[in-house]
Chains A and B, each alone.
Chain A
Amino acid sequence: MTKKNIEYGDGLAKLEKIVDSLEDNELELDKMVSLVEEGLELAEQLKKHLESAENKVQKLKQKYQLDKGDANEMV
């Protein structure tokens, strides 16, 4: 997952998995440290994603009107 094409839902699911892993008392210290780093970085990425990304509105007008014409012809 790169910073550019991060999927919020997937990222959040991964983040929640990291938190679950961190709640495991048997976790080794080294693994814990890398998970904390990964989790904090991912949370930051997701937050930035929410701040910076915009919704993309694309009109299917042409393609749709063609179909709409077909539909009308059928009628």
Chain B
Amino acid sequence: MEIPAMTVTECLNALNDVLYTQVVVVEGEVNSYNVSQGKWVFFSLRDEESKIECFAVLYKISTPLEAGMKVRVVGVPGIHKRSGKFSLTINSLELIGEGDLQKAFELLKNKLDAEGLFSLERKRSIAKYPKQVALIASTTSAAYTDFLRILENRWSGLVIDVLDVSVQGEKAIDEIEAAFNYLNESVVQYDAVVLTRGGGSLEDLHAFNDERVARAVARSRFPVVCGIGHERDISISDFVADIRASTPSNAAEILAPDKLEEQKKLDFIRQNIFTLGQQKLNSEQHKIKYAIKSLVAAADAQRDLLFALQRRLAMFANKCEYEIIDHAKSVTVLINRVARTSRDKLIAQHRHLLNLKEKLGLQNPKQILGKGYSIVRGQHGVIKSVSSVAAGEPLQIMVSDGNIDAVVTD
């Protein structure tokens, strides 16, 4: 029986049809590791005798590799038609060599550190009193119950949205990454995202040392608190997270304040308010007392001023009285003097008058007539000379007690 001939393409198609149905798991040592265009990974697996070429999309091989690492790969064999080379297309890969996980850990750590994903400038703080948080954890894990228990003891009124994920095994990386993507799209504004799981070996914690999970943590819209494993375990996710908690319980302690402490604080504030109120009242009382004291002092001062005025007035009045008395005395003296002077003058005048009178009396014709003298009047008046009369002229002779008519005879 003749075997029908095929073209090269038909031949490779026929072979690939068979090969593609085969899923193989192969263990070997990585050699010639190369990443092309940031998308494709090429390396070869070898043992002491043989070598097989491997190909993968970078997305599926997030474990950093270097030559000499021992790995277990799951892949599908096939022949690349253009080059005719046989290769395995890798679907998943895990490190199996002793120390290789640690080596991969260091490689990824150095890579992300160089990118600045661990820098302090990227770290965000969380609200002191968070209201709503997202929790990415396995709900069947001890870490989950520990976290919620501690949170319940510490704080109240918090809303916790739980995203149940595998934290170990094949699905872990996909689920954790998807959980972060889901939260980034959420309409809820979370105060923090908590990523947590309990302790385990480096293999157990592998997902948290995976580049995709680390980048998902870095991309998170909300601050991430990472509490992975025990105190001594530090994962790559811890380095990228905004806050690293040493354990799941510690994550709860970091996330929420202690309500007992808060209650103490509230008691202190209440006491403080009371004391401040009391102080203010005391201060007001003091002000009132001071005001009263000031008023009393002002009244006293006014009274003293009045007393002083009174005293001055009294002194002034006394002085006035003395002055009035002095003046009165002076006036009396003056009056007396005036009176005395007037009287003396009156007496003197009286005397003068008497003298005058006396003198006048001496000149009085009648008084003179009384002494025997007489006044002779002619026709032309008082006769003072003989020549002033003529014979036969009638005369009138006035004596002290009457007139005598006569005639000049010669």
Contact = CB atoms under 8 A, between A and B. Distances in A.
B161 A58 contact: yes
B148 A55 contact: yes
Nearest to A66: B182
Contacts of A22: 273, 276-277, 280
A63 B284 CA distance: 62
Contacts of B152: 54-55
Given A22-B276, A39-B273, A72 B174 contact: yes
Given A9-B129, A71-B174, A75-B174, A58 B159 contact: yes
A52 B280 contact: no
Nearest to B171: A72
Contact of B156 (A18, A54, A59, A63): A54
Contact of B178 (A7, A51, A72): A72
A37 B162 CA distance: 40
B136 to A, nearest CB: 10
A72 B170 CA distance: 12
* From B160, B178, B281, residue with most partner A Cβ within 10 Å: B178
Nearest to A46: B266
B3 to A, nearest CB: 42
B259 interface: yes
Question: What band does the interface of chain A fall in when counting residues whose beta carbon is under 8 Å from B?
Answer: 35 or more
B157 A8 contact: yes
Given A22-B273, A29-B280, A67 B157 contact: no
Interface in A21-69: 22-23, 25, 27, 29, 32-33, 36, 39-40, 43-44, 46-47, 49-61, 63-64, 67-68
B270 A43 contact: yes
Which of A33, A53, A60 has its CB near the most chain B CB atoms (within 10 A)? A60
B178 A67 contact: yes
A36 B164 contact: no
A15 B164 CA distance: 38
B263 interface: yes
B285 to A, nearest CB: 10
Given A68-B178, A71-B178, A60 B163 contact: yes
A58 B127 CA distance: 21
A47 B263 contact: yes
A58 B148 CA distance: 12
A53 B274 contact: no
Given A18-B273, A72-B174, A72-B178, A9 B131 contact: yes
Contacts of B159: 55-56, 58
Nearest to B135: A57
Contacts of A40: 270, 273-274
A37 B221 CA distance: 41
A46 to B, nearest CB: 6
B151 A55 contact: yes
Contact of A27 (B262, B269, B280): B280
A70 B112 CA distance: 28
B302 interface: no
Most buried by A among B148, B161, B259, B266: B266
B177 interface: yes
Contact of A12 (B129, B270, B272, B274): B129
A56 B152 CA distance: 9
A56 B270 CA distance: 28
A27 B270 CA distance: 18
A49 B158 CA distance: 12
B128 interface: yes
A52 B162 contact: no
What 4 A-B pairs are tightest by C-beta distance, nearest first? A9-B129, A71-B178, A53-B156, A53-B157
Interface of A: 7-9, 12, 15-16, 18-19, 22-23, 25, 27, 29, 32-33, 36, 39-40, 43-44, 46-47, 49-61, 63-64, 67-68, 70-72, 75
7 contacts: A7-B129, A32-B277, A51-B263, A55-B159, A55-B160, A57-B148, A59-B162
Interface of B: 59, 127-129, 131, 134, 139, 148, 151-152, 155-164, 174-175, 177-179, 181-182, 185, 259, 262-263, 266-267, 269-270, 272-274, 276-277, 280-281, 283-284
